[in-house]
Structure 1
Amino acid sequence: MGEPRIVVVGAGPAGVRCAETLLAAGIRPIVVDEGRRDGGQIYRRQPDGFTRPYVKLYGTEAARAENLHQSFERLRAQIDYRPQTLAWNVAQGKLHIVHDGHASALAYDALILCPGATDRLMPVKGWQFAGTYSLGAAQIALKSQACAIGRQVVFMGTGPLLYLVAHQYVQAGAKVAAVLDTSKTAARLRALPRLLARVDVLRKGRALVNGLKRAGVRVENGIEPLEIVGNPDDGVHGVRYRNARGEVAQIECDAVGLGYHLRPETQLADLARCAFRFDALTRQWVPQIDELGRSSEKGVYLAGDGARVLGADGAEIAGRLAAYAALSDLGHAVPAVTLDALRREQHKIDRFRLGLAEAFAWPAAQAARLSDDTILCRCEGITAGELRRVVREEGAQEANRAKAFSRVGMGRCQGRYCGHAGAEVIAAAASVPLEQVGRLRGQAPVKPLAIATVEDTE
């Protein structure tokens, strides 16, 4: 019997540690990576020829980023690494991929999905104007293109990533006008017992905030976004919001970075027919996995932020655990002591994750307050009012039915950026629990393919 074929999707923290663990067990995995180089989004590499120091590019995570990059450089020649390759479907025991305009399918004995996460976004009036970016897009511009998204930037939303990206911009010499956070001080205090599970990370977060203030950045929390001020011709002019005292304020800027923590990239898991569960704390559907990352589907494993958002260090642990789960299921011996140590560390990180979800809550009520003329789905240009209309007049109280009637979620992003807010709008308009609205079904291709794509056989 030959060596089992294990395919890993993603070369971020989870994918790299997963591949490293498999290689140590004598298995040469195939690593499919949509990126040009390893690192994922959080540790995205800078362009060739750029030599900004790690501490400027990654801040408090510089040492961890450098370690991950160096680890992958040691692995690269020993694995089957396929960069700039899109995994676009999973069907009948095969992963369908596209590279350089050529499509093929990889049969697997084990598939370990480490696709990472994307920004979780709540619409605000005017967010369709040029100059509005997600936090992730703002990071890509800085890391991969060595440029800022604007001359004067406001970062708005909530969660640790909000402060990290703002800090990275300040370190790069960009002008950050303000960081506006919707989370409330009382919620952070309530979450403190869980957050104390990782005092070191808590201190890093406080250091980021203090560093922003020392740099002269306006930092406010407990705000409510009202409008991104601008026009279709020349884009963003400013941000209007209600502060914690209930006063309406406006800040001039030419770019806005938006984000409300992260959402797992779950499309491939959905296409692989993995079961999902509703997470009431974060108000979203996530893949159902066991402690090691096994999904409900035999031979399919999930690791890192693509299953639950644990952060980069949590993703590294999850990648190792998923590799051990696959190895165990394929008949390889797995060190119990190592597993126990990884699980203990994962439990601590998961407790911290729950604290973050409580401290930086998803602003669900904001969806109900969106004006009818607010663009909800930027891909299709559909307003919140139109979605409410199909709920009330067409009886579309389920996500996919509302999608069929309104086109919300039918665009290029397939609901990645409007799906969560759209579900909140449906639930509020129909006066039903959010979990009753359900979730948008994943469909292949998970991202657009060129019409000139040629199918190969492998």
Structure 2
Amino acid sequence: MAIARIVIVGAGPAGIRCAETLVAAGFKPTLIDENRRDGGQIYRRQPEGFTRNYATLYGSEAHKAQDLHESFDHLRERIDYRPDTLVWNLTPGQLCCVSQGRHSTLDYDALLLCTGATDRLMPIEGWQLAGTYSLGGAQIALKSQAVSIGRSVVFMGSGPLLYLVASQYVKAGATVAAVLDTSPLHKRIGALPKLLARPGVLLTGMKLLAQLYRAKIPVHLGVEPLQVLGDAASGVSGVRIRTGKGETLSLDCDAVALGYHLRPETQLADLAGCRMAFDQASGQWWLAVDDAGRTSVSGVYAAGDGAKIRGADAAEHAGRLVAMALLEDLNQPVNAGLREQQRQALVVMDQFRLGLAQAFPWPAQQAAALPDAAIVCRCEMISAGELRRTVSEKGACEVNRAKAFSRVGMGRCQGRYCSQAGAEVIAAAAGVSVQQVGRQRGQAPVKPLSMFTEEVSP
């Protein structure tokens, strides 16, 4: 039997642990990563030459980041590592890649998608103004460029990432004007039984909140975002919210970081023809996998937040588990005890995930409340009113049909920023569930490509 051509896409927690397990079994996988350095988003390495220490860069997650980076360093010479490489399309058995403008193809027998996640965003009036970023974008600026996104930053949204990035900014010496959370306190109290599945992580979250209070950062819970203030010429100048007590409050700032948990990067799995499933707890479409990471397509596997949003710790367990699933399918020996250990860890983490979804719910109601003038799709500047008219005048109650009529989701981000919120706007206008509205289908290229032409001699 020929040696299997194994390709892993993504060098974050899931991809690195997956590669580590396969190397230990005697394989040399190809590891493709869009980033220039390993670590994924949460443990993204700073550029060569930067000297900030782990505690400064990663805060409470410093020891985990360092452990993952050291694991990768030990793997580097035993894998075919291809950084700064985007997989922009695939066909059965072959990937289409681009690196620094050079296009290539790569054949595979087994494909392990560890593509991670990106920000899940809900629009707010004025969010198209310069100075409005996603939480992930704000984190990348800090880690990769050692800069703050503004002189005075408001963090707004909900979920653990909101507090993690805000505390990282405080630790780095940036000015945080406020942390504004749409989730009310009673939601967290109600979710405590599930959150106690991981008491250590719960304690870490409480410590992050305590750090913000100690730094005298204003923290408001149960807020309703109303508007990002400013103008097209000068960008962001502040935010306006309604507090949990019903009072309207305006805060000055020159940058806003928005985010509501994460959404999985499923575009490549979609192109491979993998089945998707709707997750009721989070209200979004995820990749359908078995408990070991097998998709509905033979030879295609998935792990980490690209398959199911459970966080970085779970991604490491899932990366090991999906590698063992592949080894089983290749009739290779697997440590049954280690496999069961990974599975049991993920059961606990899935319980915690449900607690997070309950404590920090996706604010679907904000989509229905958006003013008609509010922009939903920032790439194509499509407003909520335009999207609602596709429902009332065109009868477009399905997201891809609405996309065809309105161009929502057709821009550079390929719907990453707007598709889920757009589906919520459509659902509210049509009076149907967001599950009935469906999901935006993936298509190549999954991200914008640089195109070069070469002169051909006559």
TM range (shorter): over 0.9
Name the SS for the 1:394 alignment partner: coil
1:345 partnered with 2:345: yes
Assess if the C-alpha contact under 8 Å between 1:195 and 1:355 holds in 2.
yes
CA distance in 1, matches of 2:327, 2:104: 26
How far off is 1:162 after superposition?
A: 0.2
1:269 partnered with 2:247: no
1:407 partnered with 2:410: no
CA distance in 1, matches of 2:270, 2:24: 30
Assess if the C-alpha contact under 8 Å between 2:101 and 2:451 holds in 1.
no
Name the SS for the 1:350 alignment partner: helix
How far off is 1:56 after superposition?
A: 1.1
Residue aligning to 2:256: 256
1:142 partnered with 2:145: no
1:308 partnered with 2:275: no
Where does 1:437-448 land on structure 2 (aligned, <5 Å)?
437-448=437-448
Q: Which amino acid aligns with 2:233?
A: D
Assess if the C-alpha contact under 8 Å between 2:12 and 2:41 holds in 1.
yes
CA distance in 2, matches of 1:374, 1:402: 17
Residue aligning to 1:427: 427
CA distance in 2, matches of 1:329, 1:13: 23
How far off is 1:334 after superposition?
A: 1.0
Residue aligning to 1:357: 357
Structure 1 window deviating more from structure 2 (44-53 vs 235-244): it is 44-53
Residue aligning to 1:387: 387
CA distance in 2, matches of 1:41, 1:284: 21
Assess if the C-alpha contact under 8 Å between 1:101 and 1:453 holds in 2.
no
CA distance in 1, matches of 2:162, 2:447: 26
1:52 partnered with 2:52: yes
Question: For structure 2, which runs of at least 5 residues remain unmatched after alignment?
Answer: none
Q: Which amino acid aligns with 1:304?
A: G
Assess if the C-alpha contact under 8 Å between 2:198 and 2:349 holds in 1.
yes
Question: For structure 1, which runs of at least 5 residues remain unmatched after alignment?
Answer: none
Residue aligning to 2:299: 299
Name the SS for the 2:17 alignment partner: helix
Assess if the C-alpha contact under 8 Å between 1:47 and 1:146 holds in 2.
no
Assess if the C-alpha contact under 8 Å between 1:102 and 1:453 holds in 2.
no
Q: Which amino acid aligns with 2:434?
A: L
Assess if the C-alpha contact under 8 Å between 1:126 and 1:227 holds in 2.
yes
Aligned residue-pair number: 454
Residue aligning to 1:153: 153
CA distance in 1, matches of 2:193, 2:300: 35
Residue aligning to 1:204: 204
CA distance in 1, matches of 2:188, 2:428: 26
Residue aligning to 1:25: 25
How far off is 1:47 after superposition?
A: 2.0
Structure 1 window deviating more from structure 2 (249-258 vs 42-51): it is 42-51
Assess if the C-alpha contact under 8 Å between 2:142 and 2:148 holds in 1.
yes
Assess if the C-alpha contact under 8 Å between 1:377 and 1:383 holds in 2.
yes
How far off is 1:95 after superposition?
A: 1.5
Residue aligning to 1:376: 376
Q: Deviations over 1:208-240 (max 9, x none)?
A: 000011001001110000000000000000010
Residue aligning to 2:167: 167
Name the SS for the 2:197 alignment partner: helix
Assess if the C-alpha contact under 8 Å between 2:292 and 2:322 holds in 1.
yes
CA distance in 1, matches of 2:412, 2:239: 27
How far off is 1:83 after superposition?
A: 0.2
CA distance in 2, matches of 1:38, 1:367: 36
Assess if the C-alpha contact under 8 Å between 1:380 and 1:410 holds in 2.
yes
Assess if the C-alpha contact under 8 Å between 2:391 and 2:402 holds in 1.
yes
How far off is 1:2 after superposition?
A: 2.3
CA distance in 2, matches of 1:140, 1:340: 35
Residue aligning to 2:177: 177
Q: Deviations over 1:39-98 (max 9, x none)?
A: 001001112222111011111110000000000001001100000000111212211111
Task: Provide the TM-score with structure 2 as the length reference.
Answer: 0.98
CA distance in 1, matches of 2:76, 2:99: 18
CA distance in 1, matches of 2:315, 2:8: 14
Residue aligning to 1:278: 278
CA distance in 2, matches of 1:221, 1:48: 39
Where does 1:191-270 land on structure 2 (aligned, <5 Å)?
191-270=191-270
Q: Deviations over 1:3-50 (max 9, x none)?
A: 111100000000000000000000000000000010001001112222
CA distance in 1, matches of 2:406, 2:62: 45
Q: Which amino acid aligns with 1:73?
A: D
Percent identity over paired residues: 64
Structure 1 runs, 4 residues or longer, greater than 4 Å off: none
CA distance in 1, matches of 2:172, 2:184: 29
Residue aligning to 1:85: 85
How far off is 1:296 after superposition?
A: 0.3
CA distance in 1, matches of 2:127, 2:395: 28
Assess if the C-alpha contact under 8 Å between 1:387 and 1:406 holds in 2.
yes
How far off is 1:105 after superposition?
A: 1.6
CA distance in 2, matches of 1:100, 1:278: 36
1:5 partnered with 2:23: no
CA distance in 1, matches of 2:283, 2:415: 16
How far off is 1:193 after superposition?
A: 0.7
How far off is 1:453 after superposition?
A: 7.0
Assess if the C-alpha contact under 8 Å between 1:103 and 1:453 holds in 2.
no
CA distance in 2, matches of 1:151, 1:100: 33
CA distance in 2, matches of 1:38, 1:316: 14
CA distance in 1, matches of 2:262, 2:248: 28
RMSD of aligned C-alpha atoms? 0.8
CA distance in 2, matches of 1:263, 1:453: 35
Q: Which amino acid aligns with 2:355?
A: G
